[in-house]
Amino acid sequence: MGMQIRIYYEDTDCGGVVYYANYLKYFERARTDFLEQRGLSVAGILKQGTQFMVVRAEVNYRSPARYGETLIIETTLAHSGKASVTFAHVLRERISGRMVAEGSATLVSTDLKGKVKRIAPSFLKALRSFPQRLRQGAR
């Protein structure tokens, strides 16, 4: 199961529909959760001298999410290259399963000064692993 996002009034426009730019925030939260499930943290990555910068983001809106609903965001690693990774996101309304939006984000690996660098093999291995909390629950 993916990460849950509850829609609050502050997330919506005057019509009670989620403001379109908020989906990018939800994707960011989901990517952070994806990393944490695999034992990685943004702070830890930064301490190792690496940061990831979004170079492309897409959102395809399928149906409006509204105040009071809860969304489930499924995040997967769609592609990995020598210095970039692409995450795919699918958002569904929790109860009905209705598709709300789908999208992706491509991030490039850089040093702390912004120079592109190769992604460490250990990082890619962790990204491709099963979430730790699911592995622990299977024991």
User: pLDDT digits over 35-94, tens only?
Assistant: 999 999 999 999 999 999 999 999 999 999 999 999 999 999 999 999 999 999 999 999
CATH number of domain containing 46: 3.10.129.10
In a domain, 137, yes or no: no
In a domain, 138, yes or no: no
Q: Could you confirm whether 111 is annotated as catalytic?
A: no
In a domain, 66, yes or no: yes
In a domain, 123, yes or no: yes
Q: Which residues, 6 or more positions from 84, have their beta carbon under 8 angstroms from its beta carbon?
A: 55, 106, 107, 108, 109, 119
In a domain, 136, yes or no: no
In a domain, 118, yes or no: yes
Q: How many domains does the chain have?
A: 1
List the domain range (segments joined by +) for residue 39.
3-129
What is the pTM (predicted TM-score) of this model? Answer: 0.91
pLDDT at 130: 86
Instruction: Please give the mean pLDDT across all residues of the chain.
Output: 93
Alpha helices in the chain (DSSP H): 22-37, 42-47, 121-128, 132-137
pLDDT at 134: 47
Which residue in the list 11, 13, 33, 111 is annotated as catalytic?
Answer: 13
> In this model, does residue 98 exceed pLDDT 90?
yes
In a domain, 139, yes or no: no
In a domain, 134, yes or no: no
pLDDT at 1: 67
